[in-house]
Amino acid sequence: MATGRTISASFLTDLDRKVIGLCESISKTISDSIPNNELREKFVEEYRKISYTRDSGLGLAGGKLQRDALCTRGRQGKAPFSNRNLRWHPLIVAENKPIFAKEIERIEIQGEDEAQVLIFIVKDSKGNEVGYTSDKVHEMPERFVVLPKHWFPHINNLKYWNDNQWTQNSCVIPALECCNWWDSVETYTVLGIALAIDLYNADFDALYKNVKEILSTQTIDEQVELPTSMFPTNKDEIIRCPVCRLNISKGLEGFRKSNRGETWQPAWRSSKKEEGDDSSIQIMHINPLVESEIRHNSNNVRYGHRWCNVAMTDHSLDETLDFMEFVIKAHNRCK
């Protein structure tokens, strides 16, 4: 299975650098809004750090904001998925063709044995065929999608690939996790505001005004007007967990009837125990991600509690609440 970093993780296009740079500017404005020096330093250490890479860097090089808003999930396995990549990465895979991507022409495989490399053939604006190797697909000028029919001719070869071969071809992202660059920027901004306001005592009105000014004056693409109509305006909608409606700073420990059991963790590895706490802050999608439309955006992404996130699984908020209501009635727990 693919076990290493995303291929070409350290290579960025001009667009990539500009987008990450815009987020860095926004993150500085957010951290500057935190009145307490000690709290500001904590925010910078845990959330604000920026890595100019496709995968947010090794370990925790990039902060949680960058990993959650700008990058896809980490993936490993016998597949060409990137182990984290920028969400506006131009090569996606899907079961069916989404309207927001062009279909590739075909896949070719170059090289022999351990040196085999995927080549994705697409047509340029003039109708000429152009091939991109797995380490160059980030240079594609627009979004392309690879469908099952493109993989089919190579199945009998690919199923015997080893870990190294998959790692050197980890170059695509799932269609359901992709978005436009401005969706990532607005999501980064919303999540950053939520943290600064509710965890670090920043002033909402002043911060909102400042980040909105940065968004509205972006120079990456004059055809893109930010903030978009999806960008939230209500403070409570930004800082509250979508499921329980408590502020993300509020813990859920009072709902647990027993202590969480201890489990052995290797002492030589960094501990991620807190990530499993009921109240740990996780990225949530109010409506689940799907391949047919872009849902990673500032209207659909919020921070919430892990317990609430786990309860939703891959269901929408409405489906989750309807099911909870059914369970409560089934157990005669209505009060």
Cβ proximity of 101 and 150 under 8 Å:
no
Number of H helices and E strands in the chain, helices first, is 11, 9
According to the model, what pLDDT value does residue 255 have? 87
Q: pTM for this one?
A: 0.93
Q: What is the C-alpha radius of gyration for the chain, rounded to an integer number of angstroms?
A: 21
Provide long-range contacts, Cβ within 8 A and 24+ apart, for 244-248. Answer: 244/304, 244/305, 244/308, 246/305, 247/198, 248/194, 248/195, 248/198, 248/199, 248/281, 248/303, 248/304, 248/305
Q: Is the dihedral of CA 197, 202, 204, 207 positive or negative?
A: negative
SS3 letters for 194-260? HHHHHHHCCCHHHHHHHHHHHHHCCCCCCCCCCCCCCCCCCHHHHHECCCCCCECCCCCHHHCCCCC
Phi, psi at 108, each rounded to 5°: -120, 155
Q: Print pLDDT tens along the chain (335 aa).
A: 455 678 888 899 999 999 999 999 999 999 999 999 999 999 999 999 999 999 998 665 789 999 999 999 988 788 999 989 999 999 999 999 999 999 999 999 999 989 999 999 999 999 999 999 999 999 999 999 999 999 999 999 999 999 899 999 999 999 999 999 999 999 999 999 999 999 999 999 999 999 999 999 999 999 999 999 999 999 999 999 999 999 999 989 888 877 777 788 888 876 655 667 889 999 999 999 999 999 999 999 999 999 999 999 999 999 999 999 999 999 998 87
Spell out the domain ranges in the chain.
50-177
88: closest CA among 121, 60, 54? 54
What does the pLDDT read at residue 335?
A: 75
Q: How far apart are CA 135 and CA 11, in angstroms?
A: 9
Q: How far apart are CA 326 and CA 319, in angstroms?
A: 11
Please list, in sequence order, all residues whose beta carbon lies within 8 angstroms of the beta carbon of residue 220, skipping any fewer than 6 positions away. Answer: 15, 18, 19, 22, 181
Residue 60 pLDDT: 58
Say which residues have a Cβ less than 8 Å from residue 4's Cβ, sequence separation at least 6: 83, 167, 170
The burial of 192, by beta-carbon neighbours within 10 Å (0-12 exposed, 13-18 middle, 19 or more buried), is given as buried
Query: In the prediction, which pLDDT does 1 show?
Result: 45
